[in-house]
Structure 1
Amino acid sequence: MHAWQPAVAGITEVLHARFTDHAYPRHTHETWDLMILDDGAVDFALDRRRHGTSDASRVVLLPPGVPHDGRTVNPGGFRKRVLYLTTDVLPERLAGPAVDGPLLGDALLRRRVHQLHAALEFDDDVLEAQSRLAFVRERLLVRLDAYRVRRPGRESDRLAERLRELLDARVRGGITLDEATGLLHAHPTHLIRSFSQAYGLPPHTYLTGRRIDQARRLLLAGERPADVAAAVGFYDQAHLSRHFTRHLGVPPARYARTARDRAR
């Protein structure tokens, strides 16, 4: 079992666990319980009605304040990943539809929840995690018949341009999704869609690319990777190394060494 509290507003806890013989007693949460099953089978009761699933493509959504339990149904147990979401993410008034249908067969939602978990593995990628949470929230609201997606229109190019200007001005310090939407008076997912439509990649990916470009120049100028990480806005040297290696196929220190070897 692995549990932690991420640096992302709206998520009180992330839980990754495998159970082979555990049974949760009947209980409630103050939060929404958003679960994906990675393998095995689970059986649970929600508001006195039993449900069961062994389908890893489904998403389980349990509302706050409603009694539920959970248990394994075979010797192999089950492996799950759970997000506990506050009522700022999903209002408590939507509990009724969730009680009526807690098992969501939605491949897009499942993929978005998986991507959010991957982003939450590292506390240094807050903008990405916030962006992915916004899209998870949007999909849940659509499934609960509480929201309709608005596609970017003619105004989207200017909105994307303004966000790009913000990102370019804050390469080192970064910006949160809440800050960006507040400054630009835009809905989070609409803002991200507008940027992605205009530039072909989401804002967090664009910002990382700008930081990598700056890091390359500083490394070639002889700066140490630890100093470069701080100078361009990465959380620490490990954060720089992870993204740098993914972009260029080599870690920062080796990249800098090739320049020194050539100079000799």
Structure 2
Amino acid sequence: MATGDQPRTSINAWRPSVPGIAEVFHAHFTDHAYPSHTHDTWDLMILDDGAVDFALDRHRHGATGAASVLLLPPGVPHDGRTVTASGFRKRNLYLDDSVLPHRLAGRAVDVPVFSDGLLRHRIDQLHTALAHAGDELEAESRLSLIRERLHFHLDALRPRTPGRAANRLAAQLRELLDSRIHSGMTLHEAAAVLHAHPTHLIRCFKQTYGLPPHTYLTGRRVERARRLLLDGRRPAEVATAVGFHDQAHLNRHFTRHVGTTPARYQRTPTGPVRFGGRR
């Protein structure tokens, strides 16, 4: 454990050469709270130990132990925090829309936790395959079975009735922010482009997506920083590449979101950390 990290905190992240998986992320957190943020990928998570509490689209949920599978859809704000002093151990797969299309995101909001032993077992098998170079074909095969099982769950859920999430102005602002991740823009610039009052823009965006525009933009920058760090780019270079003022600015937001500094995140091993037991 690196000096300065939270006690018994460990993080390991890498990008496997398996189509559809943007990132693998393993962590043990004892005292960490994720701020509200979004991903542009699906976040498929299993717990190996402990419990986690999280809000998805402003509704709180919880998961405990190794029985559950959590699926957090892209573009929907969520947070997360430890529940007990011992924290939790988790393994995440960040999946792109070649595995699950974004159009299914609304179906995953109402039921983000599945009690499915078969699905959980298949995800565990995939993580094991991802730990060994040369097992990419096995990993692709296991991912295909997971995709099939996730579609089974999502297809059984009724689509959400369009409401605030369909607010056109908020969606336009979000598209604008996504196109200006590096350069950013002021609220007044956005208001001028969209012909709306700045206060109305903030209110509309927060009602639709559950967080203010500046928080959304920061989260998107952190997401992009994670990818560049895994590509081997230096933290100082990454900071300016994703739109942060400097490396200190990146460090502050990255640590708040991910639970470790960019440099430590980048120095994690290239494969998973064994948590004990048969895994």
With normalisation by structure 2, the TM-score equals: 0.52
Q: CA RMSD in A?
A: 1.3
Asked if residue 61 in structure 1 is aligned to residue 71 in structure 2, the reply is: yes
Write out aligned runs for 1:107-256 (5 A).
107-145=117-155
Asked if residue 32 in structure 1 is aligned to residue 47 in structure 2, the reply is: no
Shift of 1:88: 0.9
Distance 2:133 2:40 in 1: 24
Distance 1:137 1:58 in 2: 16
Partner of residue 74, structure 1: 84
Structure having greater relative contact order (Cα 8 Å, sep ≥ 6): 2
Tell me the SS of whatever aligns to 2:155: coil
Distance 1:66 1:112 in 2: 25
Distance 1:95 1:56 in 2: 24
Partner of residue 19, structure 1: 29
2:124 partner amino acid: H
Tell me the SS of whatever aligns to 2:127: helix
Distance 2:65 2:16 in 1: 27
Structure 1: tracts of 5 or more residues without a match: 147-264
1:90 aligned to which of 86, 93, 100: 100
Is 1:7–1:123's contact at 8 Å kept on the other side of the alignment?
A: no
Tell me the SS of whatever aligns to 1:130: helix
Is 1:35–1:81's contact at 8 Å kept on the other side of the alignment?
A: yes
1:136 partner amino acid: I
Count matched residues: 147
Moved more, 27-36 or 49-58: 49-58
Q: 1:4-25: CA deviations, max 9, x gaps? A: 0000010000011000001101
Shift of 1:123: 2.6
1:56 partner amino acid: A
Shift of 1:55: 3.5
Shift of 1:97: 1.5
Look at both structures and tell me which one has the larger radius of gyration over its CA atoms: 1
Shift of 1:122: 1.5
Is 1:6–1:120's contact at 8 Å kept on the other side of the alignment?
A: yes
Tell me the SS of whatever aligns to 2:120: helix
Partner of residue 8, structure 1: 18
Shift of 1:132: 0.4
Partner of residue 178, structure 2: none
| Structure 1 segments of 4+ aligned residues over 4 angstroms from their partners | none
Tell me the SS of whatever aligns to 2:147: helix
Taking only the aligned residue pairs, the percentage that are identical comes to 68
2:59 partner amino acid: R
Distance 1:27 1:123 in 2: 32
Tell me the SS of whatever aligns to 1:144: helix
2:110 partner amino acid: D
Distance 1:27 1:60 in 2: 16
With normalisation by structure 1, the TM-score equals: 0.55
